[in-house]
Amino acid sequence: MRRAGRERGVAVITAILIVAIATTIAVNMLWRSQLDQRRTAAQIQADQAWLYLRGAEALAADILRQDLLEFGPDSDHLGEIWAQRIDPLPVDGGFVSGEIEDLQGRFNLNNLIDAAGQADPVAVEWFQRLLRVLELDPELAWYVVDWLDADTQPSFPVGAEDGAYTGREPPYRPPNLPVTSTSELLAVEGFDAEAYAALRPFVAALPQGTALNVNTAPAEVLASLDDGLGIASALQLIEQRGDQDFPDYLTLFAPLVSENVLPRLGERSSHFRLTARAAIGSTQLTMYSLLFREANGVVRPLLRSLGTE
């Protein structure tokens, strides 16, 4: 009797274990199935968002092309159709929004070096004035020069080349080439997140030799054109300009800036940045696209990045 009872007890325990194991397997399979479904849904949403972003890029290119046809090639200003913010557009499962900015209204970091890969004194002094306007250390300009220039000798008396970076963890070296993103400043000696955040809205990473478009430059950049200018004078210029162009920018700026700076000013732009955002379900993506508009109106992307400028 006792033996039979023990056998029945073992059988009951075995049955319970089998049910528990089967339940665990079933729950695990269900969890994996739901996880796979979520992953699939997230991937589908990400794919949809990416396609919408590419569509926004195509729309931006068409806007820039139409702008050239409507307003002509003589000048670009903030009253043109490309400068109008696009309100969020509802799409299947979410929305898409975007805005176009003229990057030639910013100081071009790559202008700090000349075609031979050496520091451009006029551009360096200009950049130092911008740093002062923003209440940053003007000596930061030399660290950026050393990041860009072709040699490996630190600028004197302030500068940083290989020796300032190879001792870091992880170690790295300056590229000694033009930058492709302003975010590279975060890797440059002397820059921290606070300094970069203050400077970021006023600088760009464009091909060397691009002129500053005075029709789209903000007050801080206009104030950096000369030591005799300040924010107050720059704001007066912007009030005079409004969202249109200066009638004769050369005549206007000739007495305000040095003869070395004047030839570096202009009123036409070829480099624009699209910031496009797509939200589909729980997926949100932001794409930055550097667009180059040729003289014949053809617009092509030079760089794209997701999430970071």
Residue 184 near residue 68 (C-beta atoms within 8 A): no
Percent of residues, the chain, with pLDDT higher than 90: 69
- Residue 248 confidence (pLDDT) above 70: yes
Dig out the tokens for 274 from the structure: 């699209």
Dig out the tokens for 130 from the structure: 């911008």
Query: Which CATH number fits the domain 108-265, given the four candidates 1.10.287.3510, 1.10.40.60, 3.90.1150.10, 1.10.390.10?
Result: 1.10.40.60
Sign of the four-CA dihedral 130, 136, 142, 143:
negative
The structure's pTM equals 0.84
pLDDT score, position 252: 96
Closest CA to 309 of 179, 181, 178, 180: 181
Which letter, b or e, does each residue of 239-272 get, where b requires 16 or more Cβ atoms within 10 Å of its Cβ?
eebeeebbeebeeebeebbeeebbebbbbbbbbb
Distance between CA atoms of residues 178 and 113, nearest Å = 8
Distance between CA atoms of residues 192 and 277, nearest Å = 27
Q: How far is CA 107 from CA 139, 140, 200, 201, in A?
A: 17, 15, 10, 10
- Residue 9 confidence (pLDDT) above 70: no
Query: Each residue of 40-80: pLDDT tens digit?
Result: 667 888 888 888 899 999 999 999 999 998 888 889 999 99
The DSSP annotation for 268-281 comes to ---EEEEEEEEEET
Distance between CA atoms of residues 104 and 272, nearest Å = 8
Up-side HSE of residue 22: CA atoms within 13 Å toward CB?
A: 6
Query: Each residue of 152-209: pLDDT tens digit?
Result: 889 888 889 888 899 898 999 999 999 999 999 999 999 999 999 999 999 999 999 9
For the chain, which residues make up each domain, given as ranges? 2-104+270-306, 108-265
pLDDT score, position 91: 84
Dig out the tokens for 140 from the structure: 């930061």
pLDDT averaged over the chain? 89
Distance between CA atoms of residues 84 and 86, nearest Å = 6
Architecture of the domain defined by 2-104+270-306: 2-Layer Sandwich (3.30)
Residue holding tokens 């700090």? Answer: 112
